Structure 1
């Protein structure tokens, strides 16, 4: 339970903030100062954000450009109860304390990441640079009815700009610290009265944020070298039908060595009780680890992604037919140098070589009602298939009495999901509406592969040992939602909902005794018990109530949500020794409880001043969990779940002769939170922190160009955003500075 002090202190602060922000507003009545209304598709149909009964946040393309947010990892700094972290193995999404750490081909997320409504399964494919974005919608809470499985935490949907029936273009160039070079461009052309084309490109480069204290001269990670391009076409098939086609190609190069030892940030790790170490930012960002057992090598990272999508909208009178299809390909290879803590006081160097490919196809057919009747309905069918092949190779484990090459050839790994869903909203009165929705999902996953103990880079049957990895799971689940919403005033509504969600179960490395595949048997001596090989689906039930209001002549807004989750079989992942070999394992963590409050909004205090505010209170903890089967973590907080976060922002426009100067500052104060490595019984406490950003822009009246200067993380403080089972920590970004020139026509 949130204690009285935790409730009272932020509440008083929120009241003080609200009073300060509201004071100058009474003297204003100009309708030009109204907050703009944003149309969103959180409910799969277009509705005003202020009239959508979902806890959500929206960032539009203009805001993203002003804040310098050019990939998903930057979003969470501006949103309540959201962490989006660029981990070594891809994007890590945590919403309201709910997260996932299995980024392998057999893992599933707790929050769905989508691009233009298309589910992107692999976190390694979610780290792309943003490209000509219209808006980003982040939905907090389970979205199992309309979005399906793996949305227990919520949904992040990046929505691109579509071609328009007018000629327009834009270009930007930015230069900054760490040798940052950022460029982007867009051109929209109405080719005919039935065809519009839109092209967009983006390039982002910067040097490493890390310092090499190893004496090798090698480049380290946390650099960036991304290139992306998209071509879109919108075709008017008929007066009532349109087809939107998109093709996107992106490459990501650079370095995968973006870690430092956890001992950079903590002392006492060997004793099992990490304590935060006070040091300079330069010390935190220096990798000085010199392994005694191997020579370090230059790391690298090459990733290529291709995506083709189609979206059909056909108005059929009382209903609109929507068809959404996508085909995605991803190829990835890298080399990384690991800090591998094998014993509490012993760390060795390990090299990982990886090659992998992933293909996914998805199709959704949906019918939604139109018109102004009392009943609004939508329903549809969904199909998803993913196939991946991977080759993991580890070198340097001889110090642990392992062979020179520890190799995992895996594939195909195949995941399938089929679903049918529907949702109805009925107006009981002009001011009161009720909603009911349900989704039935049938899914399955299978994988064949092996764990190879090799003397050389190529498997030799005469000298090497091969242990089978072979498992499959099938399952089905129904999720549902009940909700109600009521208009309290023309610009205010309240809502409540009861919803369920689930994340599918899966399997770990190993095989059942007596099974066989790839010509390999699974004898009892190397078999894994079913209780360790398989883990169960993660499920939750959510109660939520909220209020959305616009007041003071629609120049101020307030969004309030309170929620309570009951989690069962929460899935946690880490490395464990099973059948004599280290394996990446996912286990069910018993039960968890999540409850909290979210408050955010904006105020336009006249034509020159804009304010934003946000406050979250969160109590997310384990109800029952024994990570080693003995020690209880009941009552311990979930990861990345600070008990309180306060956000304040202010932007002021200074009028100059023939121009405007815009200055803005945003500060975020987060309470302390944990990052846990459950299989090591380690809990790292990340201290409370304040992070501030500053922007200064110049825009001539009626001009096609503008200048913007930015400083991110003015305090220049860093902390680990992930820590894995080996003791490898990925630091957050230090202070960065850049200046950007924009031109539009």
Structure 2
């Protein structure tokens, strides 16, 4: 790592040496547009500025003191990306684990091993400003997108609990007062059929509605037909602006995921195999539904801006079939209500501030039945109540120097009620309990404009992730809250007349009671999510680089690199019925390769009022562990994955037709390893290809 820091220092010297060549300054804060693909400012040559709301105020990526990557819908559609899993797999430093209940997001080695009732995620996932405990519940929401923002590093002050690794913001298009429509249809191998459509209708000068629909169906990636897709969703938004100072948005969305369900690969299969584990029992069936009702009130009251976001969602999950070599049934019913009230300074104030209150209410009923072993895991019901108050301030000391400060108080209450029934009707438990915890998190930092287009920043922040219950485990029925101290410093720059963008960041994390989770066998024989706390301090540190070069008006090149070191402190994993106690002290964290990154090249050919865009993307990673206990066969070799796309945009972009290929190498990328006696793998998609037609007005 010493050589890497030397390289970073050399890069800083180069940036400062080139400062006289700067042609333009970064754009100032502006209201963030929400009308599809308008998040990049259009009034400058070279690399465009991208406006985000990641810090609860509107600013550009280059002016935000944090590491942020933004994905826009035009690129995603052209490259054949149709799911949150696919989209985030293209971001360096982000690792996706998927299993039978959806996907889990890890950023810089921080996240969760499972999407389950046992623990909360380490990455805060939101859609249109609303937090969802399970990222899988919004996996069908990638239609009629405005953008996806990926924030790396702890976001505890503004995003609260369960943001120790970062945050993912999925933002969908809002209604506007211009009539318009857009539609995209994609076909491909594995009988892929994907649709994405929306229509926007202004009903008056103050009232507009927008309706959107998305769907995807395809055959399974496994020889058995498992790991297929059968999902659809719809969304309706209504916007009312009775005055220039008041904006009311209300909406409802519904999604359904079906199909055969997931499949796994045995560890004994050779690499490249797609022969799913077969237990000679009936094929599975997935049935997951999500209904959400949401609102957003924005009122400009003069010296203060008021925002109120209430949301209610109801999630039903039902899966029966093959799951890690056994035939099981899993059901979940989750009702979530949240509301956030924010007060903020007007745009352009010398002191930019935001303060607010937050309430979160989640009721989860979980049930699983391991049928072929004669064991029933009736997992306890879990009730969560969370309350928070927060404030964040950025104050301008001089025209080029700003200081940052924020604080958040969180109070969590969790209650578990339930029993486990084993073979013969014998009841064990009950596994009841109440957990209460609270935390005060803060961040301190500074921003310095070294030149009009070079900004350096440094932040120190703390984070917190709530503790919880481990269903069916008498020996370790609860686990402690996770707490974090982090330090990050970085530099963001534009060079050579806005044609070259160079960003770099270094980070250091120090965790107490770091939470890890795994899929394994509980004491009464059932397949369960197991969560443990490390006894010593867990450390993660690294460097990230991002470069974009607009070589000509038609040629763009990009490169990202993520270098990371991680290690557990003292950490002895308790024994389970099928695995002995394991000492992983000093070993690497899962989902944390030492080196990963991506590169792309894009070229445009102009033909009359249209153009052809060709793009090549490659992603690479060194070896990594897919399971925290470092069990046999859980270390995966490094890989490269390359995607190609070519698209013709006609009539100045009003329609397009294109083709894509993803994972040309057909790389065998392990998403998750189940820590069971069988030791199965969940895999990322193989090579896929297809074509897309889009229309818009």
Same fold (TM over 0.5): yes
585, 596, 607: which is aligned to 1:645? 596
Q: Which of 682, 686, 689 in structure 1 is aligned with 2:636?
A: 686
Structure-2 separation of matches of 1:354 and 1:617: 38
Q: Hey, what does 2:547 align to over in structure 1?
A: 601
Matched, 1:225 2:214: no
- The Cα of 1:555 is off from its aligned counterpart by 1.9
Paired residue for 1:40?
A: 52
Three-state SS of the structure 2 residue aligned to 1:549 is: strand
Contact 1:559 1:600 in 2 (8 A): yes
Gaps of 5+ in 2: 25-41, 576-580
Specify which of 522, 545, 551 is matched with residue 489 of structure 2: 545
Q: Distance in 2 between matches of 1:481 and 1:196?
A: 39
Residue pair 1:33, 1:606 contacting (<8 A) in 2 also: no
Equivalences for residues 131-150 of structure 1 within 5 A: 131-150=143-162
Q: Secondary structure of 1:263's partner?
A: coil
What aligned pairs does 1:348-387 form with structure 2 within 5 A after superposition?
A: 350-370=326-346, 372-387=348-363
Q: Does 2:419 correspond to 1:430?
A: no
SS of the aligned residue for 1:134 comes to strand
Deviation of the 1:435 alpha carbon = 0.9
Q: Say yes or no: does 1:285 pair with 2:267.
A: no
Alpha-carbon distance in 1 for matches of 2:509, 2:50 = 29
Q: Tell me how far apart the structure 1 counterparts of residues 648 and 22 of structure 2 sit (CA, whole Å).
A: 29
Residue of structure 2 equivalent to 1:723: 673
Match of 1:247 among 229, 247, 252: 252
Asked whether the equivalents of residues 375 and 427 of structure 1 are also in contact (C-alpha less than 8 Å), the reply is yes
SS in 1 for 2:86: helix
Cα distance between partner residues in 1 of 2:310 and 2:123: 21
Matches within 5 A, 1:68-83: 68-83=80-95
Shift in CA distance, 394/304, structure 1 to aligned 2, threshold 3 Å: same
Q: Tell me the equivalent position of 2:533.
A: 588
Secondary structure of the residue aligned to 2:627 is: strand
Deviation at 1:633, TM superposition (A): 2.3
CA contact (8 A) 2:198 2:210 kept: yes
Please tell me whether the aligned partners of residues 285 and 731 of structure 1 are also in contact (alpha carbons under 8 angstroms).
no
1:300 maps to 2:244: no
In structure 2, relative to structure 1, the CA distance for the partners of 1:654 and 1:485 (3 Å cut) is same
Aligned residue in 2 for 1:485: 447
Q: Partners of 2:54 and 2:22 in 1: how far apart?
A: 33
Q: What is the correspondence of 1:440-479 to structure 2 with a 5 Å cutoff?
A: 440-455=409-424, 464-479=426-441
Q: CA deviation at 1:576?
A: 6.3
SS of the residue 2:215 aligns to: strand
1:646–1:584 Cα change, 3 Å: closer
How far residue 561 of structure 1 moved from its aligned partner, in angstroms, is: 0.7
Matched residues, number: 665
Question: 1:581, CA displacement in angstroms?
Answer: 4.8
Equivalent residue in structure 1 for 2:123, among 111, 117, 123: 111
Q: Which residue of 1 aligns with 2:299?
A: 314
Distance 1:631 1:736, change over 3 A: closer
Could you tell me which residue of structure 2 aligns to residue 619 of structure 1?
A: 565
Residue in structure 2 matched with residue 391 of structure 1 by the alignment: 367
Could you tell me how far apart the structure 2 residues matched to 1:484 and 1:560 are?
A: 16
Question: CA contact under 8 A between 1:677 and 1:683: conserved in structure 2?
Answer: no
Partner of 2:263 in structure 1? 258
Correspondences of 1:8-47 after superposition (within 5 Å)? 33-47=45-59
Deviation at 1:232, TM superposition (A): 0.5
> How far is the alpha carbon of 1:165 from its aligned partner?
1.0
Q: Distance in 2 between matches of 1:131 and 1:427?
A: 39
CA contact 1:470–1:510 (8 Å) conserved in 2 = no
* 8 A Cα contact 2:598 2:619, kept in partner: yes
1:321 & 1:672 partners in 2: Cα distance? Answer: 48
User: Cα gap change, 1:159/1:702 in structure 2, threshold over 3 Å: closer, same or farther?
Assistant: closer
Alignment of 1:161-200 (within 5 A): 161-200=173-212
Structure 1 equivalent of residue 586 of structure 2? 635
| Ranges of 4+ aligned residues in structure 1 off by more than 6 Å | 25-28
Structure 1 residue 371, shift from structure 2 partner? 5.0
- Deviation string, structure 1 residues 347-378 (Cα, Å, up to 9, x no partner): xxx21112221110000001001154432221
Per-residue deviation, 1:129: 4.2
Q: Secondary structure at the match of 2:89?
A: helix
Equivalent of residue 407 in structure 1, options 368, 377, 386: 377
Return the offset for 1:391.
Answer: 2.2
The normalised TM-score by structure 2 is 0.91
Give 1:65 shift. Answer: 1.6
* C-alpha distance in 1 between matches for 2:216 and 2:523: 45
The CA deviation string for residues 551-597 of structure 1, in whole angstroms up to 9 with x for no partner, is 21112212211010101111122366766555543110132111111
CA deviation profile, 1:179-225 (whole Å, cap 9, x unmatched) = 0011121111111011011111111111001013xxxxxxx321101
Larger Cα Rg: Structure 1 or Structure 2? 1
Contact 1:569–1:588 (CA under 8 A) maintained in structure 2 = yes
Q: 1:290 to 1:243 in 2, by over 3 A?
A: closer
The residue that corresponds to 1:655 in the other structure is 606
| 1-structure distance, mates of 2:133, 2:597 | 32
Instruction: Provide the secondary structure at the position in 1 that maps to 2:634.
Output: strand
| Cα distance in 1, alignment partners of residues 188 and 100 from structure 2 | 24
Contact between 1:391 and 1:408, CA under 8 Å: does it hold in 2? yes
- Alignment gaps of 5+ in structure 1: 213-219, 265-276, 341-349, 398-403, 456-462, 512-527
The alpha carbon displacement at 1:410 in A equals 3.1
Deviations, residues 315-341 of structure 1 (Å, cap 9, x unaligned): 01111001011000111111121345x
Q: Is 1:700 aligned to residue 650 of structure 2?
A: yes
- Tell me which residue corresponds to 1:525: none
Q: Which moved more, 1:444-453 or 1:669-678?
A: 669-678
Using the TM superposition, give the Cα deviation of residue 510 of structure 1 relative to its aligned residue in structure 2, in angstroms.
Answer: 4.7
Contact 2:22 2:497 in 1 (8 A): no
| Separation of aligned partners in 1, 2:347 and 2:44 | 31
Q: 2-side partners of 1:130 and 1:41: how far apart?
A: 19
**Does residue 1:574 correspond to 2:518, yes or no?**
yes
- Residue by residue over 1:6-40, the C-alpha shift from the partner in whole angstroms, topping out at 9 and shown as x without a partner, is 778x989x98xx99xx9xx9999x98642121111
C-alpha distance in structure 2 between counterparts of 1:618 and 1:334, whole Å: 37
Q: Distance in 2 between matches of 1:710 and 1:429?
A: 49
Alpha-carbon distance between aligned partners in 2 of 1:736 and 1:579, rounded to the nearest angstrom? 41
The alignment's C-alpha RMSD in Å is 2.5
Looking at structure 2, the residues matched to 728 and 38 of structure 1 have their Cα atoms a distance apart, in angstroms, of 42
Does 1:203 find its partner at 2:215? Answer: yes
